Structure 1
Amino acid sequence: MRKLIVTNMISLDGYYEGPGNNVMALPFDEGFSEYNAERLRAADTLLLGRATYEGFRSYWPPIADDTSQPPVEREISRLNTAMDKVVVSDTLTPNQTAPWNNTEIVKRADAHARVAALKESPGKEIIMFGSHTLWNDLLVAGLVDELHLMIGAGVLGAGTRVFEGPAPVRLRLLESRTLPDSSLVLTRHAPAA
């Protein structure tokens, strides 16, 4: 069975993004990109919500050929573009996926069943970045196998809280460590049950 791995950065005070949905308020560093590339190498399916998908689709494709970008960023671009993508959205249409034509669109009402089917299918890990609303829902539904949080040394004071859900979820710590050459602390969690 394939694992669904959710990977995100959060602030020290528990925010997923700053005020006004500003993810750039988070304290990114080189360790963030290196860890994301590591996760992408272990996966063959990228699962995203619509807003994250649209942001990634507009940002990542041209990075691969931009020689001014660090090699790790160019690798992330190539990996994102090459792998199959599944986006959960009730509004996105197939003619809105270019240049990422290897994208499957799943209606929100069908998301749990489709994710469960993806996990049962052969392949490598399913990776999820961003997509806060979707992964919180999948976590409560018991469909997330691991939650990888990179905790940055920054306090935002406001924004979008990391956890929002109708029910509490008990997690167990699998690992915690500082990422190499980084100020980010990685914590890996799995559902307690």
Structure 2
Amino acid sequence: MRKVIVSEILSLEGHFTGPGGDVSVMPFDAGFSESNAALLRGADTVLLGRTTFLGFRDYWPGVRYDPGQPELEREISRLNWTVDKVVVSDTLTAADTEPWSETTRIVPRAEAHDVVSALRAGDGGDVVVFGSHVLWNDLLEHGLVDELVLMVGPGLVGAGGVPAFTATQPARLRLLDVQRPDGSDLVRLRYAVDSAQP
């Protein structure tokens, strides 16, 4: 059985973006990339919502051979290129997945729970969710998230920031570990979701 692991960066007040979905105000540093690279190395599937997928598709392909980018960022780009991607969307088409069409599958929202359940029941590496706030909150509420990896940073995004958690049902979490990556101001909190469905 595989785990579904959500990775999210948060401000101190628990927001995952600033006003209007602005992610540039988030407290990113190299620790965020190190954590995400480690998750990607252990994954064979990345699960994304439409908005996050489009952002990844437009940004990451050009990074893998860019000598101006740090090696870690180029590695993340290469990992994103090869990993299987499952995108939950009712509006995207196969044409929207280029240049990742060979490794990307689109599933409608109505089928998302069944698809995620099947992924969890299969063999292989982890299923990692990056960003995709609406998607992972829905999966969390329905017991389909096994771990939360929260990178909490030293910043406040202020009024208009978007809260990370929107689930209306309680979830029991168990702290697995706390890390502060070398040279980073982020704190990495890893929780097991004890209410996840088997």
With structure 2 as the length reference, what TM-score do the two structures score? 0.95
- 1:71-112 deviation digits (Å, cap 9, x = unpaired): 000000000011110000000011110001111101001000
C-alpha displacement at 1:169, in angstroms? 1.5
C-alpha displacement at 1:182, in angstroms? 0.5
- 1:137-190 deviation digits (Å, cap 9, x = unpaired): 001111100000000000111311010022122211111121222010011111
- The aligned counterpart of 1:94 is 94
Distance in 2, matches of 1:142 and 1:109, equals 16
- The aligned counterpart of 1:131 is 132
Structure 1 runs not aligned, ≥5 long: none
- The aligned counterpart of 2:194 is 192
Moved more, 119-128 or 83-92: 119-128
Distance in 1, matches of 2:2 and 2:107, equals 19
Equivalent position to 1:171, from 173, 179, 196: 173
The one-letter amino acid paired with 2:23 is: V
Distance in 2, matches of 1:177 and 1:83, equals 26
Structure 2 runs not aligned, ≥5 long: none
Are positions 1:110 and 2:111 aligned together? yes
- After superposition, the CA RMSD in angstroms is 0.9
Tell me the matched-pair count: 193
The alignment partner of 2:165 has SS state of coil
Distance in 1, matches of 2:168 and 2:93, equals 29
Distance in 1, matches of 2:47 and 2:121, equals 15
C-alpha displacement at 1:192, in angstroms? 2.9
Distance in 2, matches of 1:35 and 1:165, equals 25
